[in-house]
């Protein structure tokens, strides 16, 4: 990758540090002299999500070869549903307070409108609306990802994971998760921040009995509705696959988060009042769309 794929335009950078704060992958750092730069040791972790560029007021951040003209768009309207979809971002930096009951109720009500495969839903939602409660589980999750990192280095364990979970899951674990585990993304945590729930005060977990019909599909539709409803209310959210992965392997964690033992935790959502504003939208391309008429 060319060196200039990642750079900060120092002449215009205000050194506000928001790009560093929103980066999900520890790719950007604030140096001792207050300046902002890319961390050359972590460039391989860059997701190419464009969040650093979308929040930069002065258009001074350049990541993974992206540019403001081709890869972003100005958010001009946010009052109709399609514009709302375009302006949604995965928000990982929150104000330090849980969601108020009224906002939670509105999101719950939005989820209740999802279409579902079976005549009735089997998916249950557990909402932890307390940073303290979420924090109780963080050391266990951190420990789990540490262990997972060790398994992924062991060829025998890799074969078992492939057999039980399939090649696609093994590839995700190897290519996406392992580099982050090795860089300690999930190892360091404090009361205010952790690399798994990102310091959120609200965590929604979607789970159902292992043998219940179509619960995986239903849970993903529900979490999508929840994240869009949150955005419509000015609430930030990010879908988090790490929490269910740990929950399904740890009875202690299930006990703390009050998830029944025979339940499959499918997906989770962190939520909160966003700390920062995104100044532009990020263009996303679909892999392939074929219209046959
Ligand atoms: C199934 C699924 C699991 C995800 N898991 C995580 C996660 O564990 N942690 C995280 O920070 N983001 C997670 N994300 C969010 C993506 O990283 C995010 O969508 C991506 O960075 C694109 O950003 P955008 O939503 O702002 O376009 C997940 C997204 C999906 C769809």
Q: Are residues 44 and 133 in the same domain?
A: no
For ligand 1, the distance from its centroid to the CA atom of residue 238, given in whole angstroms, is: 6
Would you state the structure tokens that stand for residue 199, as one six-digit string?
Answer: 């310091």
Section 258-287 average pLDDT: 96
pLDDT at residue 235 is higher than 80 = yes
Q: Is the pLDDT of residue 4 over 80?
A: no
Which own/partner contact pairs does 253-260 have at CB distance under 8 Å and 24+ positions apart?
253/137, 253/140, 253/141, 253/144, 256/133, 256/136, 256/137, 256/140, 257/126, 257/128, 257/133, 257/137, 257/205, 258/126, 259/126, 259/205, 259/207, 260/207, 260/209
| Res. 2: pLDDT tops 70 | no
240-257 mean pLDDT: 97
Residue nearest to atom 13 of ligand 1 (CA): 240
Centre of ligand 1 from the C-alpha of residue 254, in Å: 23
Mean pLDDT of the chain: 94
Pocket test of ligand 1: the residue of 240, 265, 279 to mutate, having most ligand atoms within 8 Å of its CB, is: 240
Distance from the alpha carbon of residue 257 to the mean position of ligand 1, in angstroms: 22
The predicted structure's pLDDT at residue 3: 47
Which of 113, 88, 77 shows the shortest CA–CA distance to 236? 88
Do 109 and 253 lie in one domain? The reply is yes
Q: Ligand 1 center to residue 199 CA distance, Å? A: 15
- Domain for residue 62, yes or no? yes
Domain check: are 72 and 115 in the same one?
no
Q: Are residues 25 and 132 in the same domain?
A: no
* Same domain (yes/no): 169, 33: no
Q: How far is the CA of 198 from the centre of ligand 1 (A)?
A: 12
Same domain assignment for residues 266 and 121: yes
Q: Which of 241, 248, 276, 278 to mutate to test the pocket of ligand 1 (most atoms within 8 A of CB)?
A: 241
Give the pLDDT mean for 254-266. Answer: 98
* Pairing assessment for the beta strands 280-282 and 236-240 based on DSSP bridges: unpaired
Name the residue with the closest Cα to ligand 1, atom 7. 240
The CATH code of the domain that includes 210 is: 3.40.109.10
Substitution site in 238, 280, 282 for ligand 1 pocket (most atoms within 8 Å of beta carbon): 238
User: Span 209-233, mean pLDDT?
Assistant: 96
Identify the domain containing residue 65 by its residue range.
3-77
Residue 133 sits in the same domain as residue 203: yes
Q: Binning pLDDT at 50, 70 and 90, where does residue 75 land?
A: confident
Is residue 123 in some structural domain?
A: yes
Give residue for tokens 């008429």.
293
On whether residue 222 sits in a domain, the answer given is yes
Q: For residue 87, tell me if it sits in a domain.
A: no
Task: Report strand pairing: 7-8 vs 61-62.
Answer: antiparallel
d(CA 290, CA 293): 10
Q: How confident is the model at residue 205 (pLDDT cuts 50, 70, 90)?
A: very high
252 in the same domain as 110: yes
The CATH number of whichever domain residue 51 belongs to comes to 3.30.70.20
12 with 126, same domain? no
Same domain, 41 and 137: no
pLDDT for the residue numbered 121 = 82
32: in domain? yes
Residue among 182, 238, 191 at smallest CA distance from 49: 238
- The answer to whether residue 209 is domain-embedded is yes
Ligand 1: nearest atom to the Cα of 92: 11
CB distance 94 to 201 below 8 Å: yes
Question: Mean pLDDT across the stretch 112-119?
Answer: 82
Any domain includes 257: yes
Q: Ligand 1 centroid to 292 CA: how many Å?
A: 31
Examine the domain organization and report whether 117 and 258 are in the same domain.
yes
Residues 70, 212 share a domain: no
Number of domains into which the chain is organized: 2
Q: What is the pLDDT of residues 9-41, one digit of tens each?
A: 999 999 999 999 999 998 999 999 999 999 999
1 band by pLDDT with thresholds 50, 70 and 90: very low
Q: Where are the beta strands (DSSP E) in the chain?
A: 7-8, 28-30, 36-38, 61-62, 72-74, 124-128, 202-209, 236-240, 263-272, 280-282
Domain assignment present for 153: yes
Q: Determine the average pLDDT of the residues in 92-97.
A: 95
Task: Tell me which residues have their CB closer than 6 angstroms to ligand 1.
Answer: 24, 47, 49, 51, 89-90, 92, 238-242, 282
Which residue's C-alpha comes closest to atom 20 of ligand 1? 49
Of 16, 43, 77, which residue constitutes the final position of a domain? 77
**pTM for this predicted structure:** 0.93
Rounded to the nearest angstrom, the distance between the alpha carbon of 163 and the centre of ligand 1 is 25
Average the pLDDT over 248-264 and give the result: 97
């Amino acid at each position: 990758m060319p060196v200039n794929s990642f750079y900060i335009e120092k002449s215009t950078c205000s050194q506000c540090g928001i790009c560093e704060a929103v980066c999900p992958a520890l790719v950007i750092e604030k140096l001792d002299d207050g300046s902002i730069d890319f961390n050359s040791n972590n460039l391989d972790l860059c997701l190419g999500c464009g969040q650093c560029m979308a929040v930069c007021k002065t258009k001074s951040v350049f990541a993974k070869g992206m540019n403001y003209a081709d890869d972003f768009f100005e958010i001009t309207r946010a009052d109709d549903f399609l514009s709302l979809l375009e302006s949604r971002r995965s928000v990982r930096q929150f104000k330090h307070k849980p969601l108020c009951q009224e906002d939670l109720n509105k999101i719950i009500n939005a989820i209740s409108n999802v279409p579902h495969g079976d005549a009735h839903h089997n998916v249950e939602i557990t909402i932890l609306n307390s940073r303290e409660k979420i924090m109780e589980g963080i050391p266990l999750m951190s420990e789990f990802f540490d262990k997972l990192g060790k398994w992924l280095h062991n060829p025998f364990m890799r074969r078992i994971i492939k057999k039980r979970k399939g090649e696609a899951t093994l590839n995700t674990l190897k290519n996406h998760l392992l580099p982050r585990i090795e860089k300690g993304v999930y190892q360091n945590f404090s009361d205010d921040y952790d690399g798994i729930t990102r310091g959120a005060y609200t965590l929604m977990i979607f789970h159902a009995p292992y043998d219940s019909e179509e619960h995986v599909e239903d849970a993903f539709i529900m979490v999508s509705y929840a994240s869009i409803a949150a955005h419509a209310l000015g609430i930030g959210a990010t879908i988090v696959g790490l929490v269910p992965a740990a929950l399904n392997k740890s009875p202690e964690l299930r006990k703390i988060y009050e998830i029944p033992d025979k339940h499959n935790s499918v997906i989770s959502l962190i939520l909160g009042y966003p700390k920062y504003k995104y100044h532009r939208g990020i263009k996303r391309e679909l892999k392939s769309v074929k219209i046959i008429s």
